[in-house]
Amino acid sequence: MMLSRQPLSACAQRTYNRGRARRVNVAASAATAPANGAPVSSYTGKTMRTATVKRKTKETEVEVTINLDGTGVCVADTPVGFFNHMLDQIASHGLFDLTVRAKGDTWIDDHHTVEDIALALGTAMSQALGDRKGIHRFGEFSAPLDEALTHVVLDLSGRPHLSCDLSIPAQRIGNFDTELVEHFFMSFSNTSGTTLHIRQLAGKNSHHIVEATFKAFARALRRACEYDERRAGQIASSKGVLTQQ
């Protein structure tokens, strides 16, 4: 069943407006449409890698659309304000076009909503990557935000694993439970088939630590998803496969 399109929240409207402004500047050169109608990235010269995943349970209703070859446009329309801000970091620094619309039982807490968004996002990422031919596979980045510094290393190996070493002083940032940061990355790793290592190298301010983490994650993921021209379309594995199927 299609999600009803409700008016965007103030946070989602701001990210949408930023996305529109960014799109005006880059749309003319970002993609072309061949005769078969499939959009092609002018950056890679290949068909854009996109996927849409819908997930509906008794607790949440989530729809995620991602374009791995986008320009950083984000529409994050969820009831979790701080998390919308983090989704915008993923899109902006990963140069992914990302739309996330979600409703959930936030009168209980934000756990189910954040978890199911992460599961859907990981599934969409895996679907968009397809057989993962020609990609770099590995990504690494260290991102600072004032006094905070986080290092992220990941491998789109098809094998889910999370090693997360964050020390976030505050239990909450606004109304957001900081315990959900690690749970988000675990859920994403499980459905995307990503080996993910996160290390906090410095930081005292909880907002800075979490935001630096999402920025580093986005940059590392961007690198891993990008095509390696020297691979010439081959899978970056001695086994010849990077998927779980």
225: domain CATH number? Answer: 3.30.230.40
**Rounded-to-integer distance, Cα 57 and Cα 91, Å:** 26
Asked whether the CA dihedral 38, 2, 127, 142 is positive or negative, the reply is positive
Average pLDDT estimate for 58-65: 97
Between residues 224 and 39, which one has the greater pLDDT? 224
240: in domain: no
HEC sequence for the chain = CCCCCCCCCHHHHHHHHHHHHHHHHHHHHHEECCCCCCCEECCCCCECCEEEEEEECCCEEEEEEEECCCCCCEEEECCCHHHHHHHHHHHHHHCCEEEEEEEECCCCCCHHHHHHHHHHHHHHHHHHHCCCCCECCEEEEEEEECCEEEEEEEECCCCCEEEEECCCCCCEECCEECHHHHHHHHHHHHHHCCEEEEEEEECCCHHHHHHHHHHHHHHHHHHHHCECHHHCCCCCCCCCCCCCC
Residues 60 and 112 sit within 8 Å (Cβ to Cβ): yes
Average pLDDT estimate for 61-88: 97
Q: Phi first, then psi: what are they for 91, rounded to 5°? A: -70, -50
- Evaluate if residue 31 carries a pLDDT over 50: no
Residues 101 and 142 sit within 8 Å (Cβ to Cβ): no
Could you give the C-alpha distances from 124 to 18, 69, 164, 212, 238, in angstroms and in order?
A: 23, 14, 22, 23, 25
Could you give the C-alpha distances from 47 to 24, 30, 85, in angstroms and in order?
A: 21, 12, 29
17: in domain: no
Average pLDDT estimate for 57-83: 97
- Evaluate if residue 131 carries a pLDDT over 70: yes
Q: Phi first, then psi: what are they for 31, rounded to 5°? A: -155, 155
Residues 59 and 116 sit within 8 Å (Cβ to Cβ): yes
- Evaluate if residue 20 carries a pLDDT over 60: no
92: in domain: yes
- Evaluate if residue 205 carries a pLDDT over 70: yes
**What residue numbers bound the domain in which 166 lies?**
50-230
Q: State residue 29's pLDDT score.
A: 38
How many structural domains comprise the chain?
1
Confidence of residue 25 (pLDDT cuts 50, 70, 90): very low
238: in domain: no
Q: Give the closest residue to 236 by CA, choosing from 140, 163, 158, 161.
A: 158
Q: State residue 27's pLDDT score.
A: 43
Q: Give the closest residue to 31 by CA, choosing from 19, 17, 46.
A: 46
**Count of residues in the chain:** 245
40: in domain: no
26: in domain: no
Written as six digits, the tokens of 225 are 């998803």
235: in domain: no
C-alpha radius of gyration, the chain, whole number: 17
